[in-house]
Amino acid sequence: MSKILFIDVDGTLTDYQGNIPNSTIYAIRKARELGHRVYICTGRSRAEVYANIWEIGLDGMIGGNGNYVEDHGHVIFHHTLSAEDEKHIVNWLHEHNLEFFVESNAGLFASENFESVALPAIIEYSTRKDHPDATHMTVRKAFPEMIFNGGLYRDDVNKISYVLSSYQDHLNAIQEFPHLKNGTWGGAGETALFGDIGVQNIDKARSIQTLLDYLNETFENTIAFGDAKIDIPMFKLCAHSVCMKSGGPEAKEAAEYVSDDVERDGLYKGFVHLGLIEDDLHLI
């Protein structure tokens, strides 16, 4: 019976340098040849899903950690920040001298001094992800499609990420925006490098359910692949779940099966383990 696969991008489909293993490309294409459907389920906005990912062959995507759902080019669901909330966030960040970037499906729009202020955080983030050239990383390398000197007040915004000067900035944001979803990334707790603010009551699992309703499918035929704590809701919803070996301990604990690292053909091995494809490449 055909399955519906939901695959996280960073750390699952790609390594943290953005590379896609050839075995991953083969696995996805072979699975689709066999009748399985494949959707990426990512924190990235659509503007960050570059051509090399679409060229693998996908049925659609869930983006913004759940605020956007697309099937074969048709937008099923897109829940953005209200223009009023977006303006409030931008003004508040300016008032507190916090540099940020606005994430929308049309692109990533950087604040006035983001490129210089964010550089130490980007280098640290790259170092934590074992990027081979972390010390030479730049904001433009990390975000190749980022738009500088663009308009910051928009009505199509998925979320806004900002550079933390301290963890207190995140706590202040929670107090200022209690009706919105406040998170951090680049580390846990006091080690976080960035904060983000987005739409409340949105996660990957809720949007998977929205897509399943649209497809008139149930969760019994679903499989989730991920590597991080934010993937746990979709692990719990889907009938089967696979975490990459490089994933965090909480994600591994929540998953049904732990595969290998991304760069060690982890996604391919997960597909084989679940019987989605045969081990044609003899990598197991």
Residue 278 domain flag? no
The rounded distance, in Å, linking the Cα atoms of 10 and 101 is 19
Q: Are residues 72 and 207 in the same domain?
A: yes
Measuring CA to CA, how many Å separate 182 from each of 68, 126, 204, 240, 277?
18, 23, 16, 29, 39
- Per-residue model confidence (pLDDT) at position 132: 83
Residue 19 domain flag? yes
φ, ψ of residue 253 to 5 degrees: the values are -65, -35
Q: Based on the structure, what is the number of domains in the chain?
A: 2
- Per-residue model confidence (pLDDT) at position 66: 92
Cα 9 to the center of its chain, rounded Å: 6
CATH number at residue 179: 3.30.1240.10
- Per-residue model confidence (pLDDT) at position 188: 80
- Per-residue model confidence (pLDDT) at position 141: 92
- Per-residue model confidence (pLDDT) at position 272: 97
Question: Could you list the residue range(s) of the whole structural domain that residue 164 is in?
Answer: 83-198
All residues at 6 or more sequence positions from 129 whose CB lies less than 8 Å from its CB, including other chains: 16, 17
Residue 50 domain flag? yes
Q: Which among 177, 198, 219 is the end of a domain?
A: 198
Question: What average pLDDT values come out for the chain (284 residues) when binned by 10 residues?
Answer: 95 90 98 98 92 97 94 96 98 98 95 98 91 90 92 95 98 98 89 95 93 95 94 96 93 96 96 96 85
Q: Which among 160, 178, 198 is the end of a domain?
A: 198
Residue 279 domain flag? no
CATH number at residue 240: 3.40.50.1000
Residue 238 domain flag? yes
Q: Are residues 73 and 209 in the same domain?
A: yes
- Per-residue model confidence (pLDDT) at position 187: 85
Give the burial string for 63-83 (b: 16+ CB within 10 Å, else e). bbbbbbbbbeeeebbebbbee
What type of residue sits at position 4? I
Residue 224 domain flag? yes
Residue 156 domain flag? yes
Residue 280 domain flag? no
Q: Which among 198, 221, 249 is the end of a domain?
A: 198
Q: Are residues 243 and 264 in the same domain?
A: yes
- Per-residue model confidence (pLDDT) at position 155: 94
In the three-class reduction of DSSP (H, G, I as helix; E, B as strand; rest coil), residue 150 is classed as: coil
The DSSP bridge partners found for residue 38 are: 5
